[in-house]
Amino acid sequence: MANDILVFVEHLNGDITDATYELLATARSLAAQTGGSVDAAVIGTGASALADDLGGADRILVADTDALGAFNPQGHAEMFASLVETRQPAITLVPYTSVGMDIGNHVAATSGQPLVSYCLSVDAGDGLSGTCQLYSGKVQADVQVEADRAVFAMLAGAASADDGRSGGAAVIENVDTAVPDLAITFIGTAEPEAGDVDITTEDILVAIGRGIESEDNIEEAQALADALGAALAASRPIIDQGWLPKTRQVGKSGLSVKPKVYLALGISGAPEHLEGMRDSSTIIAVNSDPQAPIFGVAHYGWAGDLFDFIPELTDRLEG
């Protein structure tokens, strides 16, 4: 219906992701504005069994089929797109995640709807509008959609996952499970390899980002970590350069950590990074840019040069 909200349900191994529950919470507040229903589409192997966990939706559209595997970037996208086509929701919500990226772009492009990406909040009060984060979280932009319907790709943390776990009518509707001809075949999933250090169990993490500048400077950060009795962690650019192993990565594509102290050095604070460390007990950030988004989640900050800070702190700890 033209005032309904349709949510794509992301799931793996029988578990629905928190990102999905956040979407359901966002959908609930939008439905209050549009007067529509909160619909959740759950597609793929084991979809039926997940309906019980979708109490936050008014209607649960179930397409249970073994033909797609855990997630098929083409199969799930095409089946979800056909639901968007038949249901004509006013707002389609997908998570801004690896899975959501395949879904959102495909659905928006094939249905001719605008796609609002990197989205922090959506409003349906006066047409469709949203607030987005750009340039790795350094800039916020308000956007007004020039169409009656749109797809929104929501960043993690846009709403509380707990608010999306219940509160809907939860009527189950089985939908067509005819799988289109696919050019993509699901082979299987793999868990990450264990590393030498488990950064999820450390009390103190010294985390380095792009500000460390070169591989040669990592030694200095390691010396500080040693002096603190901490483990060294990093944001994605450091891992992608091959300067530290993947097991040290904090963030969306790395690990989520909650140490007692998270010392962020030269990390600007892209939303993907913040997602993995924002629940740390004490976050201390050092960055030369006083407007770096890391200071938005840090409890304490110093705007200055990390190459002044690191040796000073190391010396004082050792002395």
Partner 1 sequence: MNIAVLLRAVPDPVEELEIDGVDLDRDFLGYVLNEFDDHALEEGLLIKEETGGTVTVYALGTADEVEQMLHTALAKGADTAKMLGSDLDVVDAHGQAETFVEALTGGGFDLVLSGVQASDEIDGQVAMLVAAGLGFPHVSVVVGTKPADGSIRVTKEYWAGITADYDVALPAVLGIQTAREAPRYVAVARIRQAQESGNLEELDIDQPENGSRMTITEMRLPEEGEGAEMIEGDEEAAVDRVLELLQAAGVR
Listed residue (15, 22, 74) closest to 42, CA to CA:
15
* C-alpha distances out from residue 140 to 23, 73, 159, 267, Å: 20, 29, 17, 18
Please name every residue paired with 60 in a beta bridge, in sequence order, or none if there are none: 40, 172
| Residue number with CB closer to partner 1 (35 or 180) | 180
The least CB distance from residue 231 to partner 1, in Å, is: 12
Spatial separation of the C-alpha atoms in residues 193 and 189, rounded to whole Å? 13
- Single-letter amino acid code for the residue at 42: V
Listed residue (283, 291, 271, 297) closest to 233, CA to CA:
283
Taken in order 157, 160, 162, 164, the sign of the CA dihedral is negative
The least CB distance from residue 205 to partner 1, in Å, is: 11
The least CB distance from residue 301 to partner 1, in Å, is: 4
Q: Which helix (H) or strand (E) holds 151?
A: strand 150-154
| Residue number with CB closer to partner 1 (144 or 160) | 144
The least CB distance from residue 137 to partner 1, in Å, is: 8
Which 3 state secondary structure label does DSSP give 48?
helix
| Residue number with CB closer to partner 1 (190 or 216) | 190
DSSP state of 161: G
Task: Answer whether 92's CB lies under 8 Å from 130's CB.
Answer: no
The least CB distance from residue 155 to partner 1, in Å, is: 12
**What residue has token string 């083409």?**
74
